[in-house]
């Protein structure tokens, strides 16, 4: 393979070679179905955390020249030579296939099936890394606001912190029951269409019932495609690392078309910036 050829996307859906060592309880599954989210204290062997962290940190540092094409500043415009305030790598498994061979991923694949049913498979992963004392939260959003408005989905994300996740360093917050809503109006973060991230238009949803999910390292939160969620900025002196696995039961054309004007604004702004 030529050194600059794009790396192939791994077969995320491939059955795990390892048998799951942890599964969800019927009570946890019932909680997820009712609330649209779930927090679990431990989804992986604790002795695997240092290895996963090492791979993770390498992707954002030593291997940055390889991951650059999939590395974004989620909450702002990427600037040459400037570190991201909220750094995101799409498909880290493409750059570090060893991640997909871990007991962690084997466990998450089994848990996805428990939550959404047979046929559910992993479709991708991402990594969101908040540097110490960063200035940006990941604002309130629904994941489906990022996806194709011509399709309907049943999907979930599993968010795994590689150090304890707290209110201070940026744990996940959810609005219980918000998975039952339609996709609410979103806009690019800060209303800047060159920002890749999205936020709920301020005032368009009642966030007063939000709950924080603090977790030990190697725990996880689970949420559906419409569950409203957010993480605050990292006020600690360490990185706040999260590995995220995405699973799908189905994605199919919608009977009624919809438009996500926020995506159209972003596409138009990106095209104009590429021309100038
Ligand atoms: O890690 C974060 O800051 C946000 C994570 C998130 O939005 C997600 O996993 O869907």
What is the arithmetic mean of pLDDT over 138-157? Answer: 97
41: Cβ contacts below 8 Å, ≥ 6 apart: 215, 216, 219
> What are the domain boundaries of the chain?
68-275
Q: What is the pLDDT of residue 1?
A: 42
What is the arithmetic mean of pLDDT over 53-71? Answer: 94
Output the average pLDDT for the chain: 95
Instruction: Name which residue sits closest to atom 1 of ligand 1, judged by CA.
Output: 128
Kindly state if the Cβ of 138 falls inside 6 Å of ligand 1.
yes
Kindly state if the Cβ of 229 falls inside 6 Å of ligand 1.
yes
User: Would you tell me the crossing angle of helices 26-35 and 103-116 to the nearest 10 degrees?
Assistant: 60
Kindly state if the Cβ of 157 falls inside 6 Å of ligand 1.
yes
Kindly state if the Cβ of 96 falls inside 6 Å of ligand 1.
no
Distance of alpha carbon 233 from alpha carbon 137, whole angstroms: 4
Higher pLDDT, 7 or 147: 147
Q: What's the 128 CA to ligand 1 centre distance in angstroms?
A: 7
Higher pLDDT, 273 or 96: 96
Return the best residue to mutate from 72, 141, 159, 245 for the ligand 1 pocket (most ligand atoms within 8 A of CB): 159
Q: What is the pLDDT of residue 2?
A: 44
Q: What's the 78 CA to ligand 1 centre distance in angstroms?
A: 18
102: Cβ contacts below 8 Å, ≥ 6 apart: 18, 44, 48, 51, 52
Q: What is the pLDDT of residue 274?
A: 87
Q: Does 3 have pLDDT greater than 70?
A: no
Query: In this prediction, what percent of the chain has a pLDDT beyond 70?
Result: 99
Kindly state if the Cβ of 231 falls inside 6 Å of ligand 1.
yes
Tokens of 74: 């989620």
Q: What is the pLDDT of residue 226?
A: 98
Tokens of 115: 């939550």
Confidence class of residue 245 from pLDDT cuts 50, 70 and 90?
very high
Kindly state if the Cβ of 241 falls inside 6 Å of ligand 1.
no
Domain 68-275 sits in which CATH superfamily?
A: q2cbj1_9rhob like domain (2.60.120.620)
- Of ligand 1's listed atoms, the one at least distance from the Cα of 86 is 3
- Of ligand 1's listed atoms, the one at least distance from the Cα of 141 is 7
Residue pLDDT, tens place only, 11-32: 999 999 999 999 999 999 999 9
What is the arithmetic mean of pLDDT over 90-95? Answer: 96
Q: Do the strands 240-253 and 121-130 form a parallel or antiparallel pair, or are they unpaired?
A: antiparallel
Q: What is the pLDDT of residue 261?
A: 97
Q: Does 148 have pLDDT greater than 50?
A: yes
Q: Does 40 have pLDDT greater than 60?
A: yes
What is the arithmetic mean of pLDDT over 196-205? Answer: 93
Q: What's the 19 CA to ligand 1 centre distance in angstroms?
A: 27
Q: What is the pLDDT of residue 276?
A: 81
């Amino acid at each position: 393979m030529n050194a600059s050829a794009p790396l192939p996307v791994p077969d995320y859906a491939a059955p795990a070679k390892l048998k799951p060592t942890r599964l969800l309880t019927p009570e946890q599954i019932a909680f997820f179905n009712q609330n649209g989210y779930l927090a679990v204290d431990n989804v992986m062997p604790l002795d695997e955390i240092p290895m996963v962290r090492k791979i993770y940190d390498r992707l954002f540092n030593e291997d940055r020249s390889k991951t650059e094409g999939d590395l974004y500043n989620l909450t702002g415009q990427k600037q040459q030579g400037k570190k991201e305030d909220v750094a995101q790598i799409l498909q880290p498994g493409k750059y570090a296939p060893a991640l997909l061979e871990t007991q962690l991923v084997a466990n998450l694949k089994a848990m996805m099936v428990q939550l959404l049913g047979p046929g559910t498979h992993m479709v991708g992963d991402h990594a969101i890394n908040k540097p110490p004392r960063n200035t940006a939260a990941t604002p309130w959003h629904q994941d489906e606001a990022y996806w194709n408005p011509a399709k309907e989905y049943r999907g979930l994300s599993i968010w795994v912190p590689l150090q304890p996740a707290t209110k201070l360093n940026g744990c996940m917050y959810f609005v219980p029951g918000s998975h039952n809503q339609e996709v609410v109006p979103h806009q690019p973060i800060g209303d800047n269409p060159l920002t890749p991230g999205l936020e709920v238009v301020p005032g368009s949803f009642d966030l007063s019932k939000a709950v924080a999910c603090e977790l030990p390292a190697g725990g996880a939160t689970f949420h559906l495609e419409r569950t409203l969620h957010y993480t605050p900025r990292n006020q600690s002196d360490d990185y706040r690392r999260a590995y995220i696995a995405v699973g799908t039961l189905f994605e199919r054309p919608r009977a009624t078309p919809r438009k996500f004007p926020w995506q159209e604004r972003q596409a138009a702004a990106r095209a104009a910036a590429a021309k100038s």
